[in-house]
Amino acid sequence: MKLLKEQFMITLLLFVIVLGHTTCSDGKDNPTPDEPKNTVKIATFNVRYNNANDVGNLWADRQHLVAEILAKHEFDIFGAQEPYFDQLSDMVRLSPDYAYVGRSRTGQETSGEFAPIFYHKDRIDILEWGQFWLTEKDKTVPNVGWDAAQPRTCVWARVRHKIAGETFYVFNVHFDHVGVQARQESTKLLIEEVPAIAQEHPFFLVGDFNFDQNSANFQVLNTSDVLADTYGIAQRNINGNRGTLNSFNPNSTSAARIDHIFVSKLYPPTIVRHQIITDSFQGKLPSDHFPVVVEVAF
């Protein structure tokens, strides 16, 4: 009888250990035990421009939610889309660990709509940065390309991660929402320009592309010799069935991913995790887009 009791207690103890492990590992952001340390978090986040018509979702009501996302998920570096200069100022004020590089799509430093690259100052050193426009005209100055409604730009940065000790490039874009030809030609342009700038370094192309994973433009990027969609090669996918455009609805059922993170095919790091971040705060969302983050091991 004593032996049976001891066996029962051992079995019960093992069950509790296994149950506890399962409970702790089930969270969306908890790493699995075999995930490497010193990974780098790279993200894309369309924060929605400051639109006075967004009644119920005004920037004044959302800015602290954007800061909550940054505090919780601790991106090392991310591309943002759509912020105006006042929004950039609010983001830096509310998240003082971050700074950014980039000018507006009209080439201004303190006005207009931006596609900046934000970086965590304690983890990332900006070694060099630049900007070019998505156009068939002069790419070094603001120009509208093809049939686009607005000038569209690509901001890039060569960075060094202070902890991981790795140097890589990040490119951030926001494709035109009107111009069909502009999206097609911008896709081809990036396939040429991005590897020409990055040379033999790993790189990431992030942004709001205004086309989803089923589009011809997406296939052109993903089947090129230089770019791979991190969603397709990640070791883990979190919220992979969710679309990224939510229209301020936390229960959005769209599966269309228009916010993407591509990585270099020639010098690919390991994509440990791809996550579409669907956090809401008492039913409110920080933006009409869900942010996307990848965790990378070099």
30-50 tens-digit pLDDT: 445 455 668 999 999 999 999
pTM > 0.85? yes
- pLDDT at position 27 is 34
CA separation for the pair 47, 288 (Å, rounded): 7
CA separation for the pair 139, 150 (Å, rounded): 14
- pLDDT at position 36 is 66
Domains in the chain: ranges and CATH = 38-297 (3.60.10.10)
Give me the residues of the chain with pLDDT under 70, please: 1-37
The three state secondary structure string of 187-247 is HHHHHHHHHHHHCCCCEEEEEECCCCCCCHHHHHHHCCCCEEEHHHHCCCEECCCCCCECC
- pLDDT at position 38 is 85
What does DSSP say about strands 167-174 and 203-208: parallel, antiparallel, or unpaired?
A: parallel
- pLDDT at position 91 is 98
- pLDDT at position 34 is 57
- pLDDT at position 270 is 97
Say if residue 268 is exposed, middle or buried (CB neighbours under 10 Å; 0-12, 13-18, 19+): middle
CA separation for the pair 273, 75 (Å, rounded): 13
User: Which residue, chain included where needed, has tokens 């120009």?
Assistant: 143
Which one-letter DSSP state was computed for residue 32?
P
- pLDDT at position 28 is 44
- pLDDT at position 35 is 58
